[in-house]
Amino acid sequence: MQRSVRTPYDRVVMAVPVTIPYVRYSIESAQWWISRALKALVDGAGITPRDIDGFCVSSFTAGLDSGIGLTQHFGLCVRWIDTIPLGGASAIAALRRAARAVQAGDARIVACVAGDTNHVDSFRHTLENFSRFNQDAVYPYGAGGANASFALIARNYMRTFGARREDFGKIAVAQRSNALRNPHALMKAPLTIEQYMSARPIADPLHLFDCVMPCAGAEAFLVMGEDIAASLKLPAARILATIERHNAFGDDPVQVRGGWAMDIDELYAMAGVQPDDLDFVETYDDYPVISMMQFEDLGFCKKGEGPDFVRQHDLTIDGTFPHNTSGGQLSVGQAGAGGAYLGVVEALRQVLGLAGSTQVRNARIGLASGFGMINYDRGLASAAAILAGSGA
């Protein structure tokens, strides 16, 4: 294994995994949802809002507000602040920024939050204002969302690597099975592979159960010095390694790999572990094909071997390769930017042994990855993190 040149995440930890249960439609604002997560963070940590001196927020529906407006809205006085618009990579990006700030002494306790509401027209509004390239060169084609873009990617992936709908279905079905153990998952009905296969088409080859359900919700965690976590008596996780890469492989005609493929060796080198050492993986599952791509790019198999990997493994909580143990976005729901945090917060719970009914037995080390911002024809943002609990 190569040696890493990256500075280790010494003396900084993650604590207090927070999920504000999702609802399909909410009349509240994003600010309201973000504030619920902040409240849960301070209550969970046994601190007051005044103790938060770092704040990082991600949201698609906060309208006119970025992080700075929210400081006054919520009564936070901070010496470190960031607003991260990286879609599904926002949580790990937030983690990376906050951890370095705490390490450098620029902040003591950083709240990392993502929250989004879902009004009946939220989704359309988000799509219309997603990015300039999207406005100019995708939205006018009737895509109305990422479905068409990912359909093109999925179809190419199937043609190129021989993935079948059944392979994607297996991922979705396993996640639904996991979600049935998650009382907060919005999808409550079991899903069989037959139901997956016969579901109505959305944009070939994507059918109903390939798509997440947009909803309202919030997710959050705290990043703080190891010593502070100890003084507060908080279960805390270490960050073994992170990577982040944007707009990688721009010359690939159609996206078949994400940025992780460029830096994955560095992730494991920095963490000092191998892929086999991981007890669970939380991929960013906006579509099953992207999860399959992550299995390849995160080092679990070679490029193109994703279909076979899925066929060979049991992806449920108690299976051979526990994956998206809370049910993932496909079964829990996608609460806007909260979707970036869903896997990271679940990973934090897993390594802290706080996952309750979705707990992977003896989980100590796990990987969470993020992906997103399909600016035009491919997801630009990618990130991954390996977390470890105290037992690791």
List residues near another protein by CB under 8 A: 123-124, 127-128, 132-133, 135-145, 147-149, 151-153, 155-156, 159, 200-206, 250, 253-254, 376-377
Residue 216 three-state SS: strand
202 or 269: CB nearest another protein: 202
- Helix H or strand E segment including 308: helix 306-312
154 or 315: CB nearest another protein: 154
Least gap, CB of 163 to another protein (angstroms): 14
- Helix H or strand E segment including 292: helix 288-297
Residue 219 Rama label (left phi>0; alpha psi -120 to 50; beta):
beta
Residue environment code for 106-138, b if the CB has 16+ CB neighbours within 10 A, otherwise e: ebbbbbbbbbbbbbeebbeebbeebbeebeeeb
Least gap, CB of 250 to another protein (angstroms): 8
66 or 131: CB nearest another protein: 131
Least gap, CB of 243 to another protein (angstroms): 23
Please say whether the dihedral angle defined by the alpha carbons of residues 33, 37, 39 and 43, taken in this order, is positive or negative: positive
321 or 376: CB nearest another protein: 376
Strands 54-58 and 280-282: unpaired
Neighbour count for residue 277 (Cβ, 10 Å): 16
Least gap, CB of 339 to another protein (angstroms): 18
143 or 368: CB nearest another protein: 143
CA distance 294 to 102: 29
Least gap, CB of 319 to another protein (angstroms): 31
Cis peptide before 307 (omega within 30 of 0): no
149 or 325: CB nearest another protein: 149
Least gap, CB of 287 to another protein (angstroms): 12
Least gap, CB of 152 to another protein (angstroms): 4
148 or 248: CB nearest another protein: 148
Q: Which two tokens stand for residue 118?
A: 């879902």
CA distance 160 to 296: 14
